[in-house]
Amino acid sequence: MNQDLSMTCRDCKRSFVFTMQEQQQFKARGFSNPARCPECRKKRSPRARSSAKNAPIKVAATPAIKHHKPEVYSAPCSVCGQDTVLRFKPTGLIPVFCPQCFEKEVSERMKVDAGDFTKRKQVKMSLEEVAATKIGPVQVIEQEPEAAPVQMREPIRERVVSADGLSEFAQFGLAEELNRSIREAGYDIPTPVQLAAIPIALSRQDIIGTAQTGTGKTAAFVLPILHHLLSNPTHKACTRALVLTPTRELAEQISDSFKQLGRHTRIRIATVYGGVGMEPQERALRTGADVIVACPGRLLDHMGRGNTDFSHLENLVLDEADRMLDMGFLPSIREILSKLPSARQTMLFSATFADELNHLAKNTLKDPQRVDVDICAPPNTISHVLYPCPQHLKTKLVLSLLDKTDTNSVLIFTRTKHRANRVCKQIEAAGHSSGVLHSNKSQNQRQSALDDFKAGRCQILVATDIAARGLDVETISHVINYDIPDTADTYIHRIGRTGRAEREGDAMTLITKDDAAIVFDIEKVLGRPIERIKLDDFDYNAPTPNKDEFKRDPMPPRRPRNAPSAPRVKVAPSRPHERPGKPEAPRERPTGELMVRFRAAVDSSAQRDNN
């Protein structure tokens, strides 16, 4: 390379000079000597073509990508008759409003004070007023007088559902794959919360959903998310939806809903929670699962390790938000929200609405629509009964109720984990198949207990309040409160495990004399007194045992940290083969025939010595 080289181009057959400077550059880059002249290399090399200013660029024609556009329908307004654009297919079962008539209708029925989060005052219409309106066929049900509702601070823009809407899921205009899954799942009529929340979610607005447990809140956000992912496909694998839940059981249940309703799609769903290995979750996060259902604690661990990428996130759901705040997840939720993109749709669902949740919603959601459905009382399909009983007779009373009551699956709630274990053992000793569920169990044990309970292999499940939220088992016919909960809200959540989806259920609560205050709060929420029942053939006067069955044995006292230890006694070994500190075993004195043989041996030994 000490001189220029004269070379011949392979394409144009013309000679060109390969200078010494070009030779050094090619060698530094690891290239061999060129076989073409610079002009021919510019025509063939993509790097040279991109750097050349005047070189022509040929772009290959790519096939057009077909995007699924949501269908838009048109229908006349039920009040003024003007045509209005709808996102769902009108069926004639519910009224249709144009924007102007909708604002007038809301202003007439709702009186809202100024301010961001204000109190709601609902105006009830009489039968004559409903008949005089031009809304169309509306079913009006006379309701019994209810107790005074709890005052709640709410946003200005809200949507209140007070009557049951009877319509089909086809009116929402969902994708055909989802409609097929809905039919296969056996969903015929949407619940009130689904009827109110799904159209708002399809319009990509933020939602605050407050509904009682067992009203179908999960499908109210699962269906819009799946429809959005199908309507706006991407060619890059990325996480586009995130659902935060308080417990592992609820995360698995939501994941099962996504898989059931999205069975005819290629949308990938992954769960992230503690108690299991992190490697499968890390692979799902790094490969870009479309939907992530997670608990805040474990998700924050993955975010700290750099396993997540939420730059393409479009949907965020906070399910059972009040429970997450009660469990102390508020700092974790705020840290997670600070790392998510602001351009997203946020849906917050909760059974109750506290002041802390108001503050979180105000800082997280943008102009949210409010959906309230029957938040003041539990479903009317549940019958409530109180059983007064001393504390030491509760287990016997539960066993008596199980023997005398025709039950299907029974869920028993206790206050502590230790008591749940003891009650489960006593029920098993009585001959019933039972399982236990609480936070001290591993994830495999918890999942196994839930699977056995759902499959019917286990008839009775004893659990703490970890099962009071989100547990959806169709066969639960009775809920027994072994220990009355601390608040009326927790009582509503516990008994909500039965009587779901318009089924009938029974709630039995064992109370003592110390539970009068909480019983009063529960009756205030229900709006009526609860019936007290005593069994005729049960001995309520049995004496109190000397030892409490649930009291743990006291732990041995611990030695103070600075106290001197007792001196150790060292015993010298009597023989070399003995270990130090081991006393020598006493020798047995020979008796009988053994003594005779011993004396004969001694005499023979003496004779040998004399000889």
pLDDT per residue as tens digits for the range 248-277:
888 998 999 999 999 999 999 999 998 888
User: 584 versus 380: which is more confidently predicted?
Assistant: 380
Is there a single domain that holds both residue 43 and residue 110? no
- Residue 103's pLDDT is 75
In the block, tokens 């993109």 appear at: 341
Q: Is the pLDDT of residue 567 over 50?
A: yes
- Of 22-26, 52-56, 440-444, 573-577, least confident by mean pLDDT is 52-56
User: 82 versus 463: which is more confidently predicted?
Assistant: 463
H or E element at residue 73 = strand 73-76
Q: Which amino acid is at 595?
A: M
Distance separating alpha carbons of residues 457 and 433, to the nearest angstrom: 8
For range 197-210, the mean pLDDT: 91
Say which residues have a Cβ less than 8 Å from residue 600's Cβ, sequence separation at least 6: none
- Residue 271's pLDDT is 94
Give per-residue pLDDT as tens, 390-399.
988 999 999 9
Distance separating alpha carbons of residues 295 and 435, to the nearest angstrom: 24
Give the ranges where 6-87 is alpha helix by DSSP (H): 20-29, 38-44, 46-51
Q: What is the DSSP letter of 15?
A: E
Is there a single domain that holds both residue 40 and residue 89? no
- Residue 199's pLDDT is 92
Q: Which amino acid is at 610?
A: N
Q: In the chain, what's the furthest Cα-to-Cα distance?
A: 144
pLDDT level of residue 64 (50, 70, 90 thresholds): very low
Q: Is the pLDDT of residue 222 over 50?
A: yes
- Which pair of tokens denotes residue 114? 């100024």
- Which pair of tokens denotes residue 254? 């939501």
DSSP string, 359-407: HHHHHH-SS-EEEEES-SS--TTEEEEEEE--GGGHHHHHHHHHHHS--
- Of 338-352, 500-514, 562-576, least confident by mean pLDDT is 562-576
In a domain, 160, yes or no: yes
3-state secondary structure string, 402-413? Answer: HHHCCCCEEEEE
For range 412-428, the mean pLDDT: 91
Is there a single domain that holds both residue 153 and residue 291? yes
Q: Is the pLDDT of residue 597 over 80?
A: no
In a domain, 182, yes or no: yes
For range 141-152, the mean pLDDT: 38
Pairing state between β 15-18 and 5-8: antiparallel
Rank 10-24, 78-92, 133-147 by mean pLDDT and report only the highest.
Answer: 10-24
Rank 101-115, 193-207, 487-501 by mean pLDDT and report only the highest.
Answer: 193-207
- Residue 59's pLDDT is 42
Q: What are residue 423's phi and psi, to 5 degrees?
A: -65, -40
For range 12-33, the mean pLDDT: 82
Among 323, 341, 373, which residue terminates a domain? 373
Is there a single domain that holds both residue 323 and residue 444? no
- For 104, the domain range is 73-373
Q: Is the pLDDT of residue 591 over 80?
A: no
For range 546-571, the mean pLDDT: 63
Distance separating alpha carbons of residues 550 and 418, to the nearest angstrom: 8
Is there a single domain that holds both residue 364 and residue 219? yes
Among 497, 532, 567, which residue terminates a domain? 532
- Residue 88's pLDDT is 67
Cα separations (Å) of 178 from 18, 201, 217, 265, 345?
Answer: 66, 15, 17, 8, 20
DSSP string, 142-200: --PPPPPPPP-EEESS-EE--S-----GGGG---HHHHHHHHHHT--S--HHHHHHHHH
In a domain, 556, yes or no: no
- Which pair of tokens denotes residue 341? 């993109």
Rank 126-130, 147-151, 426-430 by mean pLDDT and report only the highest.
Answer: 426-430
Q: Is the pLDDT of residue 288 over 50?
A: yes
In a domain, 249, yes or no: yes
Helix, strand, coil abundance in the chain, percent, nearest 5: 35, 15, 50
For range 565-569, the mean pLDDT: 60
In a domain, 560, yes or no: no
For range 555-575, the mean pLDDT: 61
Distance separating alpha carbons of residues 105 and 468, to the nearest angstrom: 38
pLDDT level of residue 105 (50, 70, 90 thresholds): confident
Among 532, 564, 596, which residue terminates a domain? 532
- Give how many domains the chain has, as a whole number: 3
User: Angle between the 330-338 and 355-364 helix axes, to the nearest 10 degrees?
Assistant: 0
- Which pair of tokens denotes residue 428? 């098993």
Distance from the first to the final alpha carbon of the chain: 115
For range 125-144, the mean pLDDT: 39
Is there a single domain that holds both residue 399 and residue 497? yes
- Residue 53's pLDDT is 46
User: Angle between the 516-526 and 488-495 helix axes, to the nearest 10 degrees?
Assistant: 70
Q: Which amino acid is at 417?
A: K
User: 375 versus 96: which is more confidently predicted?
Assistant: 96
- Of 5-19, 382-396, 562-576, least confident by mean pLDDT is 562-576
Rank 158-162, 334-338, 451-455, 490-494 by mean pLDDT and report only the highest.
Answer: 334-338
Is there a single domain that holds both residue 239 and residue 359? yes
557: exposed, middle or buried (Cβ count in 10 Å: 0-12, 13-18, 19+): exposed
- Closest CA relative to residue 133, chosen from 163, 157, 109, 99: 109
DSSP string, 408-431: SEEEEE-SSHHHHHHHHHHHHHTT
Q: Is the pLDDT of residue 185 over 70?
A: yes
In a domain, 314, yes or no: yes
Is there a single domain that holds both residue 451 and residue 337? no
pLDDT level of residue 236 (50, 70, 90 thresholds): confident
Are 326 and 493 contacting, i.e. CB atoms less than 8 angstroms apart?
no
User: 299 versus 545: which is more confidently predicted?
Assistant: 299
In a domain, 66, yes or no: no
In a domain, 418, yes or no: yes
- Of 16-25, 250-259, 311-320, 478-487, least confident by mean pLDDT is 16-25
Are 452 and 460 contacting, i.e. CB atoms less than 8 angstroms apart?
no
Is there a single domain that holds both residue 123 and residue 153? yes
- Which pair of tokens denotes residue 102? 């909708």
Is there a single domain that holds both residue 229 and residue 336? yes
Distance separating alpha carbons of residues 91 and 167, to the nearest angstrom: 8
Distance separating alpha carbons of residues 611 and 594, to the nearest angstrom: 26
Distance separating alpha carbons of residues 246 and 318, to the nearest angstrom: 9
Distance separating alpha carbons of residues 43 and 38, to the nearest angstrom: 9
Distance separating alpha carbons of residues 548 and 414, to the nearest angstrom: 16
- CATH classification of the domain holding 303: 3.40.50.300
Are 471 and 479 contacting, i.e. CB atoms less than 8 angstroms apart?
no
For range 159-179, the mean pLDDT: 66
- Which pair of tokens denotes residue 559? 């030695």
Q: Helix, strand, or coil here: 349?
A: strand
User: Angle between the 417-429 and 394-404 helix axes, to the nearest 10 degrees?
Assistant: 50
User: 190 versus 607: which is more confidently predicted?
Assistant: 190
- Residue 139's pLDDT is 37
Distance separating alpha carbons of residues 22 and 17, to the nearest angstrom: 10
Is there a single domain that holds both residue 89 and residue 29? no
Is there a single domain that holds both residue 246 and residue 324? yes
- Of 71-80, 141-150, 210-219, 443-452, least confident by mean pLDDT is 141-150
Give per-residue pLDDT as tens, 519-556.
998 888 888 899 999 998 888 888 887 666 666 666 66
- Residue 508's pLDDT is 93
